[in-house]
Amino acid sequence: MEHAIVTGAAGFIGANIVRRLLEDGVEPHLFIAPGSARWRLAELEDHAPIVEVDVADHDGVATAVAKARADRVYHLAAHGGYSWQTDHQAILRANILGTSNMLEASLAQGFEVFVNTGSSSEYGLKDHAPTEDEVVNPNSTYAVAKVAATMLCRQVAVRSGANVCTLRLYSTYGPWEEPRRLVPALAVEGLRGRLPPLVDSTIARDFVWVGDVVDAYLAAGHATHDEPGAIYNVGTGVQTTIAEAVEVTRDVLAVEARPQWGSMPARAWDTSRWIADSSKIRDRLGWQATLDFRAGLAAYAHWLRERPEVLSYYEAQRA
């Protein structure tokens, strides 16, 4: 049986990857930070080993990785991706030291593919869709840490010849997403005929469905990356403004409420231009997004309707 490590397995994307691996007959080893909320894993605890380990703990990581003996490593453990995660030391520790420890331990154990998780925030504010070889201009501690982790992966791949790559994700949404994010807010409030507080209508994102993102991880995890430390953008190539996202929500969920623009403060990284150029992953790995935002929002709302206990949890977290 194939074995895979998923770090950050209690998180949004990690929990989705775990479910897909189980469906595919792979045994995932779930690495989660001590004290992690397990609401995404409640139904999985009897189906896969869960290991509480701080990825910044060198010896703990070495022991856990050696025990798992995984063929593939999907590294998603991170800190700082949410606006309320502001501790600079924690951000640097998790993203840089954590990635270094996972790389070192995985090299010692041996693996087929190591897939690192980057971020579109590594590029900084751009007025176009950046390609992977473009100069990065990170404008937050989190983005700086992600750049460093990406470069660590590339350096290790060059030095060792190991099969390592990084996926730079754009704005992923869908089942099990953090309740306080925009798309969950639109879906949860929309199901009740309301709209959440909103920032500037012109702010834009490249929203990519989590099922498509999982497909990207599996494609990367089963590829030989001829370019050492290859980097791939993962997005749809379609930009959606917040105004457009709200109108899709109003249409799909029959919401009559009108948006109250400016009822939520803007953030430093908000921009009216944020779009992926995913031609590299399409050409090299055969991946491309399949769901547009309208179809994705409808699927997400349906998923919530089918899980009243999860919907109640989302509502409680948003209260």
User: What's the pLDDT at 266?
Assistant: 72
Indicate if the pLDDT at residue 268 is higher than 70.
no
Q: Indicate whether 41 belongs to any domain.
A: yes
User: How does residue 41 score in pLDDT terms, banded at 50, 70 and 90?
Assistant: very high
In this structure, the answer to whether residues 97 and 244 fall within a common structural domain is no
pLDDT score, position 262: 77
What token pair was written down for 169?
């994700």
Q: 151 and 17, same structural domain?
A: yes
Q: Please give the pLDDT value at position 110.
A: 98
218 and 248 in a common domain? no
Do the domain assignments include residue 196?
yes
| Structural domain that includes position 311 | 175-206+237-274+292-318
Question: Binning pLDDT at 50, 70 and 90, where does residue 16 land?
Answer: very high
Interhelix angle 293-305/242-252, nearest 10 degrees: 50
Task: Name the residue among 265, 124, 277, 122 with its Cα closest to residue 199.
Answer: 265
d(C-alpha 290, C-alpha 208), whole Å: 9
Does position 118 have pLDDT exceeding 80, yes or no? yes
pLDDT of 269 reads 65
Instruction: For residue range 181-238, list pLDDT tens digits in order.
Output: 999 999 999 999 999 999 889 999 999 999 999 999 999 999 999 999 999 999 999 9
Amino acid at 143: A
> Residue 83 — very low, low, confident or very high, per pLDDT cuts 50/70/90?
confident
**Number of C-beta neighbours around residue 76 at 10 A:** 22
Tell whether 136 and 194 lie within a shared domain: no
Task: Give the domain CATH number at 63.
Answer: 3.40.50.720
Q: What mean pLDDT is reported for the chain? A: 96
Is 281 inside a domain boundary? Answer: no
Residue 279 belongs to some domain of the structure? no
- Does pLDDT of 318 surpass 90? no
In this structure, are 263 and 135 located in the same domain?
A: no
In a domain, 138, yes or no: yes
Model confidence at 66, in pLDDT bands (50, 70, 90)? very high
Tell me how far apart the alpha carbons of residues 22 and 26 are, in angstroms, rounded to a whole number: 5
Q: Which two tokens stand for residue 22?
A: 């189980």
Looking at the structure, tell me whether residues 117 and 258 fall in a common domain: no
- What average pLDDT does the segment 250-274 reach? 86
**Predicted confidence (pLDDT) per residue in 145-154, tens digit:** 999 999 999 9
Same domain, 118 and 226: yes
- Do 16 and 175 meet the contact criterion of CB atoms below 8 Å apart? yes
Model confidence at 241: pLDDT above 90: yes
Task: Count how many domains the chain has.
Answer: 2
Q: Let me know if residue 36 belongs to a domain.
A: yes
CATH at 263: 3.90.25.10
Q: Give the pLDDT of residue 264.
A: 74
One domain for residues 223 and 74 = yes
- Between CA 209 and CA 207 the distance in angstroms is 7
The answer, yes or no, to whether residue 251 has pLDDT greater than 90, is yes
pTM given for the model:
0.97
68 shares its domain with 188: no
pLDDT in tens, 276-301: 999 999 999 999 999 999 999 999 99
* Whole-number pLDDT of residue 263: 78
Residue 94 to residue 19: CA distance in whole angstroms: 24
Specify the pLDDT at position 7: 99
Q: Does 254 lie in the same domain as 122?
A: no
Mapped to the 3 state alphabet, what secondary structure does the chain carry? CCEEEEECCCCHHHHHHHHHHHHCCCEEEEEECCCCCCCCCCCCCCCCCEEECCCCCHHHHHHHHHHHCCCEEEECCCCCCCCCCCCHHHHHHHHHHHHHHHHHHHHHHCCCEEEEEEEHHHHCCCCCCCCCCCCCCCCCHHHHHHHHHHHHHHHHHHHHCCCEEEEEECEEECCCCCCCCHHHHHHHHHHCCCCCCECCCCCEECEEEHHHHHHHHHHHHCCCCCCCCEEEEECCCCCEEHHHHHHHHHHHCCCCCCCCECCCCCCCCCCCCCCCCCHHHHHHHCCCCCCCHHHHHHHHHHHHHCCHHHHHHHHHHHC
140 with 268, same domain: the answer is no
Among the residue ranges 26-30, 172-176, 200-204, the one predicted with the least confidence is 200-204
Q: How far apart are CA 125 and CA 250, in angstroms?
A: 29
154 and 190 share a domain?
no
